[in-house]
Amino acid sequence: MISQLEKEVALRYLKTRKKEGFLNIISIFSFIGISLGVAVLIIVMSVMNGFRSELVDKIVGFNAHAVVKPYENPINSNIFSNKKLRLISKKLILSNSGEGVIINRDYTKGILLRGYGQKSFKRLKLAQNNKFLGNKELRRKHISIGKELSYLLNVDIGDKILLMSPAGVKTIVGLLPKQEAYIVDSIFESGLTDFDQNIAFLNIFDLENFFNLDKNDRYLEVYLKKPEKIDEIKIKLSNIFPDENIYTWADLNQSLFSALKVERNVMFIILSLIIIVAAFNIISGLTILVKNKTRDIAILKSIGVKNNSIMKIFFMIGFLIGSIATLFGIFLGILFSIYIENIRGFISKTFNVSLFPEEIYFFSKMPSEIDFNSIILIGTCSIFATCLVSIYPAIKASNLDPVKALKYE
């Protein structure tokens, strides 16, 4: 426990006098350094969390969270009434896909074609998006393409485009690629350029006929209630479908999210060095304080104050500087994280610079997501660092010999 005397002495030493101006400067710089380190760390972590969440939302939002592909036996229709599967899923949709070539005038492009039933397509988040244009029913001999692809092909709703399939058609001159014309029935916008350029949707019966696919080749798309808990859910899906191949959105984007995770951890380590460097300033400040207060320490010891109490006094000074600086840094970091988009807009307009260009990052605004677990971790590490560096000056103060100190004063 800390006594009233120890508290009063520690608080008095925090209020430096004019003749101790240099010591005051060191304390102020220690305070500012720790505060800025904590604030910057929280802001960077919030932006990276927001960036990851937005990216997951865009990638997951327009794709199945998990796909179950049959090896030999087709997907059993009874699976739609499976209680375990219904508990973890929002939607279950049968689908099929194939790769073809899209041709329009002088432009040719490889494309992934995905097939859905008329009712199933309307249930997709893509079709429910307010940026979706055209018919939401995926009719026979019609196609739904992305906004970016419509620009590349220079087509609009109602125009015809030609599709070429690798599946051959027997003719008198031999096997030729199958070609069919489709009418553009709708144009979607996902927010991801690659998705809008490289994926189109056909009626599932047209797609299977176009690629010579069997109905038994259809796979099951699972849209989950909690897609962020994909690792746990994949285990449950493996138990429900022991003989099928299962892959998830995390499997398809593993390298991207692994890179984001590594980058986030590296940034945390690098920015933590700011706090550590600032915390080491406390050693300088406390060491000088001990030097300046040699006579006071000797007097305190002479009147019976124990070494343990002296150590507590100087440790408390370091702890208070670090703790108050950390709390101020947390407040500053949270404030900036909340209003970071307003700050970005203000800087962009004032200095006429683009801090977060949409064409590069695919986001209209700077994302930010405050994670309170990260804030607790940052605050704990900061306070721990300041406590650690306060130990040496505190021990040095407690070990001071009062006889020698008074003799040389």
**Predicted local confidence at residue 283, as pLDDT:** 80
Q: Whole-angstrom Cα distance, residue 324 to residue 258?
A: 36
pLDDT, averaged across the chain? 83
For the stretch 224-279, pLDDT in tens is 888 878 888 888 998 888 888 898 888 887 787 777 778 878 888 887 887 888 77
Backbone angles phi, psi at 271, to 5 degrees: -70, -25
Mean pLDDT for 90-101 is 90
For residue 408, pLDDT over 70 is answered with no
* Helix/strand/coil for 140: coil
Which of 106-120, 133-147, 337-351 bottoms out in mean pLDDT, i.e. has the lowest? 337-351
The 10s digit of each residue's pLDDT in 381-395 is: 888 888 888 888 888
What does the pLDDT look like over 119-172, one tens digit per residue?
888 888 888 888 889 988 889 999 999 998 998 888 999 999 999 888 766 666
Give the C-alpha separation, 380 to 12, whole Å: 26
Residue 274 bridge partners (DSSP) = none
Amino acid identity of 320?
Answer: L
% of the chain at pLDDT higher than 70: 90
Over residues 267-292, mean pLDDT? 79
- Asked if the model's pLDDT at residue 204 lies above 80, the reply is yes
Closest CA to 8 of 218, 317, 359, 362: 317
Q: Are 153 and 161 in contact (CB under 8 A)?
A: yes
Q: Report the residue count for the chain.
A: 409
Average pLDDT estimate for 332-355: 84
Higher-pLDDT residue of 323, 80: 323
Lowest mean pLDDT: which of 48-62, 107-121, 136-150, 198-212? 48-62
Neighbouring CB atoms inside 10 A of 125's CB total: 14
Predicted pLDDT of residue 172: 63
The pLDDT score that the predictor gives to residue 182 is 93
| pLDDT of the residue at 227 | 80
Q: What is the pLDDT of residue 319?
A: 87
Q: How deeply is 407 buried, as exposed, middle or buried, from its count of CB atoms within 10 A (0-12, 13-18, 19+)?
A: exposed
Average pLDDT over residues 52-63: 74
180-204 mean pLDDT? 89
